[in-house]
Amino acid sequence: MGGFNGSGTYVRYYNWTADASNAIPIMASRMDTEDNGFATALTNCITRDGQGVPSANISWNNHKLTSLSDAVDPQDALNQRSGDARYNALSYKSVKASTTSRNTTIILANDPDLITPTLIAGTYKVSGLIMFYADTGAGAVTGLKWIVNSSATITDSSFVANGIVNSVSNSYGITPSTSSFSFSNINGSGSAINTDWVLINGQMTISTSGTISFQWSQQTSNANNTNVRKGSYMIVEKIP
């Protein structure tokens, strides 16, 4: 019997040289059988233009798929570049390259550096080190109001903060994320060397895609700057 043998080898139905040696004449039925075998085998193949598609799981026998396009749809196979990009999107660290200063505001707004790219829905661990100080000047001492927020729909959020404010160790808690939190007595020396700092830890669940960001403002509106210092960072990691 001809056709594929179950291991990927095509087996001929007849051998024309053998037929000639055995004095078997050319017969339409034998020609049709051989050609029909070719047709059936070709119909069972995966074609380069996508007409013939797999009908079962296929082993690649420990070989690579090369020159694979970037994944777009949810069921696309990942090449290394797409896989790295998705991993990085689910484990993101942002670091402030320069100090950001704000004054005369109590309206919470995203820090320009401490914000993720768009993340998929899920639960994320958020941690970070925030360093801040106030400029000198009359009435310069003002608080830092902050929140970890998302542009996505938040279904659950809980954060704690530990830090040094005016050389005194403090521990704070905040839940849920829809409430802002303040440090009321930040350093008024105006020196980035004498910086107050806080460690934030918590997690957030978002039910839609969106960014996660550190938002902050002055606790009390003041014409003197409140500053979040260069080197502050935020790490966001997806929880499986």
Q: Distance between CA 7 and CA 61 in Å, rounded?
A: 12
What's the chain's average pLDDT?
82
> Is the pLDDT at 91 greater than 70, yes or no?
yes
**Span 98-116, pLDDT tens digits:** 999 999 998 999 999 999 9
Domain ranges in the chain are: 1-56, 86-239
Look at domain 86-239 and name its CATH class. mainly beta
Q: What is the DSSP string of 58-96?
A: ---TT----SPPPP-STTSPP-HHHHHHHHHHHEEEEE-
The residue among 27, 237, 235, 197 whose CA lies nearest residue 115 is 235
Q: Distance between CA 107 and CA 122 in Å, rounded?
A: 28
> Is the pLDDT at 19 greater than 90, yes or no?
yes
Q: What is the pLDDT of residue 161?
A: 76
**Span 139-198, pLDDT tens digits:** 555 677 888 899 999 998 888 777 655 444 444 444 333 444 555 545 444 454 456 788
234 alpha carbon, distance to own chain's centre = 15
